[in-house]
């Protein structure tokens, strides 16, 4: 069995009175992430980790923010397309571990729904999808609630 590890990172600006979709969950908050798609920072970091592990470049290469096909699209669709891309190279996903960094809202109550959304999109058991969250202790652009960051690692595998 051949295995590879991938790392992903994403950041989005937060704006007042804008939707805040994270892990496919609509968080009710006075600010939300801004981007070309639905700006789901968690799913974007996961996609970058998967694409990187499979040596398929990055999310911006495959889902350009200048392409009208991706304007406002759910990042669940982008995740499903990413899984298809890595499957075309013979890879399957072993596990995903992700970390969100934001001041508010609290993420812990939403983690099971995020895990379920991701598991359903990629055909995995939720036990293989770890999501954690932390704050930036009120420091920097994250602490001022100007942006949100996500990191993700994944393991992919295929027969030799």
Q: Is 37 flagged in the annotation as binding?
A: yes
Q: Is beta strand 25-27 parallel, antiparallel or unpaired with respect to 129-134?
A: unpaired
Q: Is 60 flagged in the annotation as binding?
A: yes
Q: Is 36 flagged in the annotation as binding?
A: yes
Q: Is 82 flagged in the annotation as binding?
A: no
Q: Is 125 flagged in the annotation as binding?
A: no
Q: Is 135 flagged in the annotation as binding?
A: yes
Q: Is 30 flagged in the annotation as binding?
A: no
Helix (H) / strand (E) element for 151: namely: strand 147-158
What CA–CA distance (Å, rounded) separates 150 from 53?
17
Q: Is 10 flagged in the annotation as binding?
A: yes
What CA–CA distance (Å, rounded) separates 105 from 27?
8
Q: Is 138 flagged in the annotation as binding?
A: no
Are the CB atoms for 73 and 19 separated by under 8 Å? Answer: no
Q: Is 141 flagged in the annotation as binding?
A: yes
Residues making up the annotated binding site are 10-12, 36-37, 44, 58-60, 63-67, 134-137, 141, 144
Residues making up the annotated binding site for a divalent metal cation are 10, 12, 44
């Amino acid at each position: 069995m051949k295995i590879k590890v991938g790392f992903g990172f994403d950041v989005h600006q937060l704006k007042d009175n804008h939707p805040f979709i994270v892990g496919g969950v609509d968080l009710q908050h006075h600010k939300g992430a801004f981007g070309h798609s639905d700006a789901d920072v968690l799913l974007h970091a996961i996609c970058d980790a998967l694409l990187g592990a499979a040596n398929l470049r990055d999310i911006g290469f495959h889902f350009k923010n200048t392409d009208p096909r991706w304007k406002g699209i759910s990042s669940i669709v982008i995740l499903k397309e990413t899984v298809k891309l890595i499957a075309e190279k013979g890879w399957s996903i072993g596990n995903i571990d992700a970390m969100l960094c934001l001041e508010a809202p609290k993420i812990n109550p939403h983690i099971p729904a995020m895990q379920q959304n991701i598991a359903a999109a990629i055909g995995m058991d939720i036990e293989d999808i770890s999501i954690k969250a932390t704050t930036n202790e009120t420091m920097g652009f994250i602490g001022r609630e100007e942006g949100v960051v996500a990191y993700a690692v994944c393991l992919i595998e295929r027969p030799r």
